[in-house]
Structures are given as C-alpha cells and as structure tokens.
Amino acid sequence: MDLLKDLQWRYATKAYIDKKVSDEKLDFILEAINLTASSCGLQPYRVFAIENKEIRAKLGEGSFNKQITQASHLLVFAAYNNVTTEHIEKLIKLVAKNRGVAEADLKDLFTKLDSYFNSRSIESNRHWSDKQAYIALGTALIAAANVKVDATPMEGFDPAVFDELLGLKDKGLHTTVILSLGFRDETADFLAAAPKVRIPVQEMVTMI
Amino acid sequence: MDLLKDLQWRYATKAYIDKKVSDEKLDFILEAINLTASSCGLQPYRVFAIENKEIRAKLGEGSFNKQITQASHLLVFAAYNNVTTEHIEKLIKLVAKNRGVAEADLKDLFTKLDSYFNSRSIESNRHWSDKQAYIALGTALIAAANVKVDATPMEGFDPAVFDELLGLKDKGLHTTVILSLGFRDETADFLAAAPKVRIPVQEMVTMI
C-alpha cells in the first residue's frame, strides 16, 4: 500500500455506478475498522453494514445525500450514549481472556477506568465515544482506498430516523457518522477529476 | 503496505527508547495528516510537531504520561474553537486557486457552508472540529505504523497548559488530542508483547 497515493486517490464521492462491493473487500474494511486504535481499548461504538436497498431508501428519505441509496453499501457508525460500569466490566473480561490473566489481577485497571468514566458527565462520555468513532471512520476511509473502493463520509442526515430504524435506543447507541461504499461514476461526478484541495503542509504543521 | 498487519503491529506504546524519528518518516506522517479526509475540505485543526525537549518537559509536567518527553516527537492536534466566515472564505479562495475556477462561481458553496456553520452554536462547531481532528489522528496512527514508528495517542493531559504554552488562544485553537512518536522499548514496556484486545468483528458489525 502506498498510503499517500491512496489518500490522494480518495475523495468524497458524489455519484456511484451500480456495482457491488465484493464480500472480500467489505470484510477487509470491516476488519480494519475493528482493529482501529481505541482509547483504553474500549471500542465505544458499533457499525451497521447495510446492503438492503429498502432500508437504505427509508434511511435516505428526504436527504440530499443520494449516496445513501446509490452506493453499494452504507456503513453506520453508532457510538455509545454513555460509558458505563458494564462496558468497563466487559472490557476487563476480554482483556483477561485474550491475555491469559486473572480478572482479579486487573482490578486496579477496572477501578481506574470505572472511576474515570463515572466521574464525567454522560454528555462528555457521549462526545468522547463520538470522537473515538471518528478514528474508526478515518481507518475505514484508508482501508476503502487501499482496495480501491470509493467512499463518502456524511454528516448531513437525520440521526433520529437512523436511530429509530436501526433500533439504536434499545442498544444504548446513537448514530454518529455514516459512510457509503461503492464505485465512483466518473461521468456523472464532476469531482472525480477535480484536484484535491489542501492547505500546504507547512501551513498545517508548526515545527517546534 | 499491509494495512491489517500494520494495525495489528501498532499499540499505545508505554515506554520508548532514546532514538530519533528521521525527518523522512516524520514528513511522511505529517503529509498523510494533511491529506486526511476532511468534511467540506475545511481541515479545521492544526498540528504542532514538537521535538524540543524543554518545551515537552514543560508540557508533560505533572502528567502520568511519560511518553510526552520520552518519545522522539510529540504531535499536538489543535482544533478550531469555532468555524467562522473567515474560515469559509479562506477555503473558497483555496478551492478557486487549486481548481482554476473563479471565486464568483463558488458563491453558492460559500453561502451554503457559511450559513450552515453560522446557524450552529460555537460549542457544536467546536465539537465538530474536534471530531475532524480525530480523523487526522486515525490517519497519523496508520501512517506511523506504515513506517514502523511507534505512537501513543493521549487524552490525559492538561489542555490549559498546552493551550497556554503553545499560544493557541491567539490562534483561535485549542488542544484536542496529542500523539507521541518514537520507537518502543520492548524490555521496559510489558504491553509490547501483549496480544491485542478486540471484540470479534461479528460483535462490532451488524450486517443488514
């Protein structure tokens, strides 16, 4: 993989052709998302990978983002509404299992994490979970470009519709950001050939 | 690049050896950050790449994160405090220049973006900028792993100290998240050999 070339290649696709992303490529992207760096290893979000056209039509109703239905798949990143003791307990069990250590030996870690997240407001924990989901979005965009799958990250959607249709409330989740996956329609998408617009790296970065 | 292998290889490094990240590798990581996907192309954050040991010592004073000073470099991701008309104007000028179109032809885009960001609270725009910076963090982590540079994303720091020492207030920025870069100390860091802890991908992803 040439990361810089892939980042140059990708763009927020506006129009897609009618072609399905293979299971192999989709699995690669989803695997990368699951391996995303995550603070404390908590992975405070879940992903819904939607191919079903009817559900996508309902999700995209009234939206200016035609990509929701036009693309091959839609990924919905849904973050925790809060970080609870239950989440920490689950993490500790998983750490114990994966690393072959006793849960009792992880008591300090449990207490540290549990007291930290409990000391913050639900809103702070929710914002934190949202930000963690955006790291996964960044990974997904790179993974997609790596296998030459086009993608469109979208924030302009009705979260209430998404939360309702996907039953997120009962799962303690809310829709954070969505990402369509598919293949660009170069004739219909004037942005496909447009040069990428970025400030010079010297303006982005101050060296100290 | 094998993205999945790189994601497996990386971890939040706890101890670093005394070895400098080369300019070539650092430039690669910074270039990748600048090419990060960014909503509307706004790139609402800046990065401070700090090698200076004295400044890092001041930034890390009292922090449990020894990586701030121990690593080779520290990247500070600082997001906009708000998204203003000035930011939108600057973006429009850049789009016009890079794509060879007249600014007048981008008036609709300007109005759309300007009215959108002005319709939201400063706090919402600030949260939005923070989330955008986390996409860049995700890119930086992958770029670092790609050139076998170890890294530690950190949220446990005193933002007031960072904002003050880096003069961020005057720049309309605030510290969002920090990332140390360097090379792991395998003998001092028990996590270097620990298996990665992730939920199964089937638990992360619901297929619909």
Question: Please, which residues bridge with residue B165 across strands?
Answer: none
Residues 99-138 of B with CB under 8 A from A: 99, 127-128, 130-132, 134-138
* Token code pair at residue A158: 């009705």
The H or E element containing residue A160 is helix A159-165
Q: Which residue has the higher pLDDT, A146 or A190?
A: A146
Closest-CA residue of chain B to A206: B48
- Cα separation, A127 vs B111, whole angstroms: 28
- For chain A, the 3-state helix, strand and coil shares in percent, each to the nearest 5, are 50, 15, 30
The pLDDT of residue A193: 86
pLDDT bin (cut points 50, 70, 90) of residue A168 is very high
Quote the DSSP letter at residue A192. G
- Give average pLDDT by consecutive 10-residue segment, chain B, 208 residues: 92 96 98 96 97 96 90 98 97 95 95 96 97 97 98 94 96 98 94 91 97
**pLDDT at residue B97, as a whole number:** 94
Give the residue-averaged pLDDT of A136-150: 97
Amino acid letter, residue A171: K
Q: Rounded to two decimals, what is the model's pTM?
A: 0.96
How high is the pLDDT of residue B193?
Answer: 86
Chain B: closest CA distance from residue A204 (Å): 5
Chain A hits for B51, CB-CB cut-off 8 Å, are 207-208
A7-26 in b/e form (b: 16+ CB < 10 A) is: beebbbbbbbbeeebeeebb
Contact B26/B73 with Cβ under 8 angstroms? Answer: yes
**DSSP state at residue A51:** -
What is the per-residue pLDDT for B64?
83
Sequence-separated contacts (24+) of A85-92 with Cβ below 8 Å? A85/A114, A85/A118, A87/A42, A87/A44, A87/A117, A88/A42, A88/A113, A88/A114, A88/A117, A91/A40, A91/A41, A91/A42, A91/B197
Which pLDDT band, with edges at 50, 70 and 90, does A62 fall under? confident
Rounded to the nearest angstrom, the minimum Cα separation between A33 and chain B is 9
Helix/strand/coil (H, E, C) string of A2-46? CHHHHHHHCCECCCECCCCCCHHHHHHHHHHHHCCCCHHHCCCEE
Shortest Cα–Cα distance, A134 to chain B (Å): 5
Cα distances (angstroms) measured from residue A91 to each of A27, A45, A87, B65: 24, 13, 6, 22
- Rounded Cα distance, A28 and B4, in Å: 8
Band of the pLDDT at A190, cuts 50, 70, 90?
Answer: confident
Measure the CA angle with vertex A180, ends B203 and A131; round to 5°.
Answer: 60
In this model, does residue A160 exceed pLDDT 90?
yes
The residue type at B192 = A
pLDDT at A1 over 70: no
- 8 A C-beta contact, residue B155 and residue B127: no
* Interface contact flag, A94 B197, Cβ < 8 Å: yes
B residues 135-194 lying closer than 8 A (beta carbon) to A: 135-139, 141-143, 146, 153, 155, 166, 177, 194
Q: Cβ of A146 and B1 within 8 Å?
A: yes
Distances (CA, A) of A116 to A110, A125, A179, B84, B197: 10, 10, 31, 34, 20
Kindly tell me if the per-residue pLDDT of A75 is higher than 80.
Answer: yes
Query: Looking at residues A128-153, what average pLDDT do you find?
Result: 97
Q: Which residues of A touch B146 (CB under 8 A)?
A: 1, 3
Torsion of the alpha carbons at A114, A117, A121 and A123, rounded to the nearest 10:
-130
Query: Does the CB of A55 have a partner CB in chain B at under 8 Å?
Result: yes
Contact A9, A193 (CB under 8 A): no
Structure tokens at A20: 């399905």
Q: In chain B, count of helices (H) and strands (E)?
A: 9, 5
Question: Which is it for the CA torsion B206, B132, A84, B142, positive or negative?
Answer: positive
